[in-house]
Chains A and B, each alone.
Chain A
Amino acid sequence: MARILIIDDDGDVRETVVRLLELDGHEIAAPPSSRDVSAAIEAGDYDLVVTDVIMPEMDGIEVVRKVRKARPNCPILAISGGSSSMSSRTLLHMVGALGADATMKKPFSRAELQAAIGALLVGGGF
């Protein structure tokens, strides 16, 4: 089991992901505000980060940078449902290029989430 930091500005999404991952026994942190997010990232107390890309205060790119600074080798999974100007695929492609280890478009099934998390944890979490 791993300690996973969930970052999404949409509370419902955040809570849903928390529930899904808790089903698999992971230890989850899901800070509600961007300030809490920054603190949690800097604390470094996590094995994996799941982050949304388009967020009003701190977006996925910034999350990736901060995580890389705090925990250079920590795997990051970026998730996105797209934006008004770019498809989720484009966004995720760019986030991937900017340092996310894996990407996944919304909506996703539990199985897809489990596969992505599993791959990251196996690939380099530890």
Chain B
Amino acid sequence: MVAGGGVFDGSAMPLPFRSIERQPAVRLPANLRILVMGGGAGLIILATAVAVLIHLRLLAVDRTDRHLNAIATLLGEQTARAVQTADLVLDAVERRVATARDVAEAGEHATHVFLRDRIAGIPQIKYAVVIGPDGKLLASSLSHPAADVWFGDRYHFTAHRESNDAGLRVFDIVQSRTTGEWLVIFGRRWKAPDGSFAGVLNVALDPEYFTTLYRGLTDGDGSAIGLLRADGTILSRYPDAATYIGRRADPAHLRRLLAVPPGEAVEFTSTITGTARHFAARAVPGYPLLIVASMAEEVVLADWYAQLALIGAGALAAIAAIVLLLFKLQTSLSEAGRILDAAADALVLVDMSGAIVRVNARLEGMFGYRGGDLRGKPIEVLMPQDRHAAHRGYIRAFAERPRARAMGAQGREIRAVRKNGEVFPVEISLNPVALAGNAYVVATISDITTRQRTENQLREAREMFAAIIDASPMAIVALDTSRKVLVWNRAAEAMSGYTTEETVGRPYPLVPADGQAEFDEHFARICAGESQRDIEVMRKRKDGTLRRLKFSGEPLYDGDRSVRAIIYVLDDITDRKAIEDQLHQAQKMEAVGQLTGGIAHDFNNMLTVIIGNAEVLLARPNMDPKLRPICDMILRAAEGSADLTNRLLAFARRQSLQPKRTPVKPFIERMGGLMHRTLGENVEIRLSLAADAWQVMVDAPQLETAILNLAINARDAMPRGGQLVIETRNVSFDEKSAPLHQDAQAGDFVMIAVSDNGTGMTPETLQRVFEPFFTTKEVGKGTGLGLSMVYGFVRQSGGHVAIYSELGHGTSVKIYLPRAIGAEGGTESAGEADGPAPSRGESILLVEDERLLRDFVESQLRDLGYSVVTAADGKRALEILAGETKFDLLFTDVVMPGGISGREVAERAQAMRPDIRVLFSSAYTRESIAQHGRLGSDVHLLSKPYRVQEMAAKLREVLDREAVPA
């Protein structure tokens, strides 16, 4: 129990907190408590009411007593005066009769007159009489002679006769024997001169006199007045005199009554009236008489009964109201308690010393305590150990400046600890509350484990999504509907050159001036809810370079299904596009080459037939001479056809080349004269030849043809003459720069550029210049094979061709020929001079589907000293590899029929024999194979066709390599 915190005494008020008083509490059920409290309040009210009523009753009784006493006193005096008057009459009568000599004298007329005169004017005296000693009436104020009446049996006579006391006063109540009316007889002894009994002197008092007297004093107040003889006989009474006169009061009652001190009254049930009454009595001074004033209890308490009813009803009403109020209070408190217990948040009431005063059920559930466990404990039991010290300080600080606030600094996590030691995150709000003049804190505690977990999951998910977006190799950009950048991932940075910081919140920066309309259209479509897929556009990098991008755009909706933002996924396809174009071109060339080779075979057969038969005709001895020119014409046409076939084969890279080590500079210088003759005077020829140009391995006559072809094309592009520049230079490409340079491979090359300042070509023309039979020249002016031949020849020679042209500014064709390997100097092939590199007895598995080639290569390998096993396809090769024979090297074609490629054979072979070396051969170029994913870029490849020396050298290179670490 908190000092001074009476409000929190559970027995006083059922607060809506689970009570945890400090004293051991025998707790009553709430309903019973209410009942007890209601009963208590009722009793108090009842007791008060009773006390008030008792008091009122006492007041009423007291008032009555005083009233009765006052009446009795007053009437006692009045009665005494009336009786004294009668007594004076009797004195006079006594003196009168004392003078009479005898009884007879006493009965004389004079006595009657005396009596009559004596009582005249005294209203209360009815008559006065003198009674003789024998009881006979001697004289009367009423008549003379006196009526013959005998009183010898009457008490008022006998009492005097039997008493010797001359001072005795006797009162009696009698009913007149003549009139039947009630009379109060008051008399004294008539004493003879000798002192003997001479008779009795009486006056008759009218009871009505007293009744009238009493009525005048008491009428209407409910009291009754009785005139009693000392022995209790009722002489007169008001009211109801007729009923009670002559009756005698209970002597015991009479004694009680007489024992009461003056001014007080006594209450008892009258034996005469049979009702409870209050009595007050007064002796009539000088006479054996009592005045008794009484009042019926019901009259005494009549007002009090009314008050009793009123107050009782009021008290009952008050108790009922209290009970009702308490019941309502209990109901609402118990509801409030249940509501608080049912609250999702835990509530704890703490005093400013940090002691727990109350908790709700939710708190106990949350922290794992049971009813009362926490009573009086420091609030720190709900906190982790490491927070205790700091918290004491916080309590002090809070006590100094209590205000409603959240606990803990902004952003700091608050932890709570359960009874079982489990720590969990919470949110606490503090509200100061003053109860009964003391300051407390209500702490509202929410377990935010779930929320925090959800928030963590959300945050992690958000971070992961951000990381995913950032890690995406595709550029991802989001714009809001006003085209400001919202998201700009890492790939977008790399692609555009703009950093995230430079873009977010700013307008989308990539649209080039001439692309605005296109951008607007796509943007509007996406904003209208339309997805855009794989659309190729030109965009500008930060450095100003234009890139070809492929983008997909999607709208992002917010909750009400309106477009909130749009997201772009961007892919820079500039390089890929170029490579694809080149690959496409290479594939086209390859296809044309295949076709050309096939046609050439049949064409050569047909030419053989044509030429042969023409010659058969010419050889006939009886040949008509006129037919001879015809045969000659046939032969010339056939030879022309054979020449054309050779050119086709040259383009198709299937001509027979005889490459020799050739120094470029002297070679071109030697062509000078030929070129002048071919190009004519209008074309100025300028040579710009590097003195240090490397030697190249090339078929020299074919190179001459190629250069001449280029020169002729240049001339035709300069119909009014111009300048032809032939330039040579050494060029090296590394792996990075090579792929961007059209067909280029990495390595050392000698570039031979043939440039003119002629008409130039459109980009469309430029795209197709290497295609066979493509020509811009008039029909008949060219075969369309010139550049194709150059292309085929250079490619077959291991080099590549690049062409640059701009309409109106001329054309430049650059031939890159591979630098000759080996020592510079001699013009003959070093390989041929040295002979092929021989084997060291290694074994080779040769896989080749083309039978002729397989047989040929096999024979060549055997000649070189290798032991050879052959396979016609991949399946057979795998069977052989699975057998006993061990091979040092697998020499396989890449592309083979039968479903298993050379690459698969190589992979399986290396899986079985990790140390086996692999050499691929293929008619396709390294790049086209690499780009089709058939081979890695680091494998050894021998391009078909190859010469025996090349094959021997490559084999040794692969076999002699250091074992590649796995």
Chain A interfacial positions (CB closer than 8 Å to B): 10, 12-13, 15-17, 19-20, 23, 53-54, 59-61, 79-91, 94-95, 97-98, 105-110, 113
Given contacts A85-B594, A85-B923, 14 further A-B contacts (CB under 8 A): A19-B612, A19-B613, A19-B616, A54-B601, A61-B851, A80-B604, A82-B601, A84-B597, A87-B597, A87-B945, A88-B604, A98-B856, A106-B607, A108-B611
What is the CA–CA distance of A86 and B610 in the complex, to the nearest angstrom? 23
Task: Point out the residues of chain A lying under 8 angstroms from B611, CB to CB.
Answer: 107-109
Task: Point out the residues of chain A lying under 8 angstroms from B649, CB to CB.
Answer: 82, 87
Pick from A15, A97, A109: contact of B615, CB under 8 Å:
A109
Task: Point out the residues of chain B lying under 8 angstroms from A109, CB to CB.
Answer: 611, 615, 635
A33 to chain B, nearest CB (A): 18
What is the CA–CA distance of A15 and B608 in the complex, to the nearest angstrom? 11
What is the CA–CA distance of A90 and B850 in the complex, to the nearest angstrom? 14
Q: List 21 A-B contacts (CB under 8 A).
A: A16-B616, A17-B608, A19-B612, A23-B616, A54-B852, A61-B851, A61-B856, A81-B601, A81-B607, A83-B598, A83-B601, A84-B594, A84-B597, A87-B597, A87-B655, A88-B604, A89-B655, A97-B860, A105-B604, A106-B608, A107-B607
Instruction: Specify which of A12, A79, A81 lies most central, judged by the most chain B CB atoms within 10 Å of its CB.
Output: A81
B652 to chain A, nearest CB (A): 9
B607 to chain A, nearest CB (A): 4
Is B609 an interface residue when CB atoms closer than 8 A count as contact?
A: yes
B870 to chain A, nearest CB (A): 13
Is B855 an interface residue when CB atoms closer than 8 A count as contact?
A: yes
9 smallest beta-carbon distances between A and B, as pairs: A81-B604, A89-B656, A16-B612, A94-B856, A107-B607, A84-B598, A110-B615, A106-B604, A107-B608
What is the CA–CA distance of A23 and B608 in the complex, to the nearest angstrom? 16
Which residue on chain A has the smallest CB distance to residue B607? Answer: A107
What is the CA–CA distance of A84 and B597 in the complex, to the nearest angstrom? 4
Is B600 an interface residue when CB atoms closer than 8 A count as contact?
A: yes
What is the CA–CA distance of A61 and B923 in the complex, to the nearest angstrom? 21
Task: Point out the residues of chain A lying under 8 angstroms from B607, CB to CB.
Answer: 81, 106-107
What is the CA–CA distance of A8 and B601 in the complex, to the nearest angstrom? 13
B627-668, CB under 8 A of A: which get 1 and which 0?
Answer: 000000001001000100000010000111000000000000
Are A107 and B594 interface neighbours, CB within 8 A? no
Are A81 and B600 interface neighbours, CB within 8 A? yes
Task: Point out the residues of chain A lying under 8 angstroms from B654, CB to CB.
Answer: 82, 85-87, 90
Is B306 an interface residue when CB atoms closer than 8 A count as contact?
A: no
What is the CA–CA distance of A98 and B857 in the complex, to the nearest angstrom? 10
Task: Point out the residues of chain A lying under 8 angstroms from B855, CB to CB.
Answer: 61, 94, 98
Which residue on chain A has the smallest CB distance to residue B850? Answer: A85
B585-608, CB under 8 A of A: which get 1 and which 0?
Answer: 000000000110110111111111
Contact size range, B: 35 or more
What is the CA–CA distance of A59 and B605 in the complex, to the nearest angstrom? 16
Which B residues from 551 to 597 make CB contacts under 8 A with A? 594-595, 597
Task: Point out the residues of chain B lying under 8 angstroms from A13, CB to CB.
Answer: 605, 608-609, 612
Pick from B600, B609, B945: contact of A90, CB under 8 Å:
B945
Task: Point out the residues of chain B lying under 8 angstroms from A106, CB to CB.
Answer: 604-605, 607-608
Are A107 and B610 interface neighbours, CB within 8 A? yes
What is the CA–CA distance of A38 and B594 in the complex, to the nearest angstrom? 31
Is B3 an interface residue when CB atoms closer than 8 A count as contact?
A: no
B95 to chain A, nearest CB (A): 199
Task: Point out the residues of chain B lying under 8 angstroms from A16, CB to CB.
Answer: 608-609, 612-613, 616
B73 to chain A, nearest CB (A): 167
Pick from B608, B610, B656, B944: contact of A81, CB under 8 Å:
B608
A66 to chain B, nearest CB (A): 14
Is B513 an interface residue when CB atoms closer than 8 A count as contact?
A: no
Task: Point out the residues of chain B lying under 8 angstroms from A80, CB to CB.
Answer: 604
What is the CA–CA distance of A19 and B856 in the complex, to the nearest angstrom? 32
Which residue on chain A has the smallest CB distance to residue B854? Answer: A61
Chain B interfacial positions (CB closer than 8 Å to A): 594-595, 597-598, 600-613, 615-616, 619, 635, 638, 642, 649, 654-656, 850-853, 855-856, 859-860, 923, 944-945
Task: Point out the residues of chain A lying under 8 angstroms from B859, CB to CB.
Answer: 97-98
A2 to chain B, nearest CB (A): 18
Which residue on chain A has the smallest CB distance to residue B600? Answer: A82
Task: Point out the residues of chain A lying under 8 angstroms from B597, CB to CB.
Answer: 82-87
A101 to chain B, nearest CB (A): 15
Given contacts A81-B603, A82-B649, A85-B923, contact A107 B638 (CB under 8 A): yes
Which residue on chain B has the smallest CB distance to residue A79? Answer: B608
Which residue on chain A has the smallest CB distance to residue B650? Answer: A87
What is the CA–CA distance of A54 and B602 in the complex, to the nearest angstrom? 11
Are B612 and A94 interface neighbours, CB within 8 A? no
Which residue on chain A has the smallest CB distance to residue B946? Answer: A90
Task: Point out the residues of chain B lying under 8 angstroms from A19, CB to CB.
Answer: 612-613, 616
Are A86 and B605 interface neighbours, CB within 8 A? no
Task: Point out the residues of chain A lying under 8 angstroms from B610, CB to CB.
Answer: 107
B846 to chain A, nearest CB (A): 14
What is the CA–CA distance of A119 and B860 in the complex, to the nearest angstrom? 26
What is the CA–CA distance of A63 and B754 in the complex, to the nearest angstrom? 48
Are A87 and B656 interface neighbours, CB within 8 A? yes
Task: Point out the residues of chain B lying under 8 angstroms from A95, CB to CB.
Answer: 852, 856
Which residue on chain A has the smallest CB distance to residue B796? Answer: A87
Are B601 and A20 interface neighbours, CB within 8 A? no
Are A84 and B601 interface neighbours, CB within 8 A? yes
B249 to chain A, nearest CB (A): 167
Are B594 and A59 interface neighbours, CB within 8 A? no
Are A110 and B612 interface neighbours, CB within 8 A? yes
Are B603 and A90 interface neighbours, CB within 8 A? no
Are A82 and B616 interface neighbours, CB within 8 A? no
Task: Point out the residues of chain B lying under 8 angstroms from A105, CB to CB.
Answer: 604
What is the CA–CA distance of A113 and B850 in the complex, to the nearest angstrom? 29
Are A94 and B601 interface neighbours, CB within 8 A? no
What is the CA–CA distance of A105 and B605 in the complex, to the nearest angstrom? 10
Task: Point out the residues of chain B lying under 8 angstroms from A85, CB to CB.
Answer: 594, 597, 654, 850, 923, 944
Which residue on chain B has the smallest CB distance to residue A110? Answer: B615
Are B608 and A108 interface neighbours, CB within 8 A? yes
A55 to chain B, nearest CB (A): 10
Which residue on chain B has the smallest CB distance to residue A83? Answer: B601
A14 to chain B, nearest CB (A): 9
Task: Point out the residues of chain A lying under 8 angstroms from B860, CB to CB.
Answer: 97
Task: Point out the residues of chain B lying under 8 angstroms from A113, CB to CB.
Answer: 612
Are A61 and B852 interface neighbours, CB within 8 A? yes
Instruction: Specify which of B604, B610, B655, B852 lies most central, judged by the most chain A CB atoms within 10 Å of its CB.
Output: B852
What is the CA–CA distance of A13 and B763 in the complex, to the nearest angstrom? 46
B575 to chain A, nearest CB (A): 32
Are A53 and B612 interface neighbours, CB within 8 A? no
Task: Point out the residues of chain B lying under 8 angstroms from A12, CB to CB.
Answer: 605-606, 609
Task: Point out the residues of chain A lying under 8 angstroms from B656, CB to CB.
Answer: 87-90
Which residue on chain A has the smallest CB distance to residue B656? Answer: A89
What is the CA–CA distance of A113 and B649 in the complex, to the nearest angstrom? 23
Task: Point out the residues of chain B lying under 8 angstroms from A110, CB to CB.
Answer: 612, 615-616, 619
Task: Point out the residues of chain B lying under 8 angstroms from A61, CB to CB.
Answer: 851-852, 855-856
Given contacts A53-B852, A87-B655, contact A17 B612 (CB under 8 A): yes
What is the CA–CA distance of A110 and B617 in the complex, to the nearest angstrom? 11
Instruction: Specify which of B600, B608, B859 lies most central, judged by the most chain A CB atoms within 10 Å of its CB.
Output: B608
What is the CA–CA distance of A87 and B62 in the complex, to the nearest angstrom? 158
What is the CA–CA distance of A80 and B605 in the complex, to the nearest angstrom? 8
What is the CA–CA distance of A83 and B602 in the complex, to the nearest angstrom? 9
Instruction: Specify which of B606, B609, B850, B945 lies most central, judged by the most chain A CB atoms within 10 Å of its CB.
Output: B609
Are B608 and A91 interface neighbours, CB within 8 A? no
Task: Point out the residues of chain B lying under 8 angstroms from A20, CB to CB.
Answer: 612, 615-616
Which residue on chain A has the smallest CB distance to residue B620? Answer: A23
What is the CA–CA distance of A108 and B608 in the complex, to the nearest angstrom? 6
Which residue on chain A has the smallest CB distance to residue B945? Answer: A90
A110 to chain B, nearest CB (A): 4
